[in-house]
């Protein structure tokens, strides 16, 4: 017995619908994406030579953060609201005020960021962070 086989026709896969779906997903992704413009604050990190001169300069606005969340602003204990008032009045008179934030041992990063946010929101732009001691 000799059977003849029919040749199969190769069917092509229609990619038009697939490409259409991919373009729809791409357009959806482009329209729903939000672009966030983040604001940042320039921060001057101290070097070995500038630490002593920064703490001795009289025209620097000094903020010391204690480990128990106490704030000493120019060697005077203050609450965060009092610090905001003092800082805003200082920045209003001199926008280029140098602000030095000192942290003692045991200060959390969140405490430092909270003070840095307050400085930034009050207009402080020239900030230096160092550890006290």
Is residue 101 packed enough to be buried (19+ CB in 10 Å), middle (13-18) or exposed (0-12)?
buried
Within a domain: 19? no
Within a domain: 77? yes
Within a domain: 9? no
pTM exceeds 0.75: no
Report the C-alpha gap between 91 and 45 in whole angstroms: 20
Count: domains in the chain: 1
Within a domain: 87? yes
**Confidence grade of residue 57 (pLDDT, cut at 50, 70, 90):** low
Q: What is the pLDDT of residues 119-130, one digit of tens each?
A: 988 888 888 888
Q: At CA 58, angle to CA 78 and CA 95, rounded to 5?
A: 75
Within a domain: 66? yes
**Distances in whole angstroms, Cα of residue 57 to Cα of each of 18, 30, 32, 50, 63:** 68, 52, 51, 11, 14
What pLDDT is stored for residue 109 in this prediction?
A: 87
> Are 89 and 51 in contact, with CB atoms under 8 Å apart?
no
- Give me the CATH number covering residue 103: 3.30.420.270
Residue in the structure block whose two tokens are 């001169």: 53
């Amino acid at each position: 017995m000799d059977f003849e086989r029919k040749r199969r026709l190769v069917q092509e896969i229609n990619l038009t619908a697939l490409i259409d779906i991919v373009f729809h997903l791409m357009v959806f992704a482009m329209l729903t994406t939000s672009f966030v413009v983040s604001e940042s604050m320039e921060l001057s990190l101290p070097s070995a030579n500038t630490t002593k001169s920064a703490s001795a300069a009289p025209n620097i606005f000094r903020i010391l953060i204690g480990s128990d969340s106490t704030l000493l602003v120019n060697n005077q204990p203050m609450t965060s609201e009092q610090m905001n008032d003092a800082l805003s009045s200082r920045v209003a008179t001199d926008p280029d005020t140098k602000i030095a934030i000192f942290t003692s041992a045991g200060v959390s990063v969140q405490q430092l960021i909270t003070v840095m946010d307050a400085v930034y929101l009050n207009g402080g732009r020239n900030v230096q962070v160092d550890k006290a001691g």
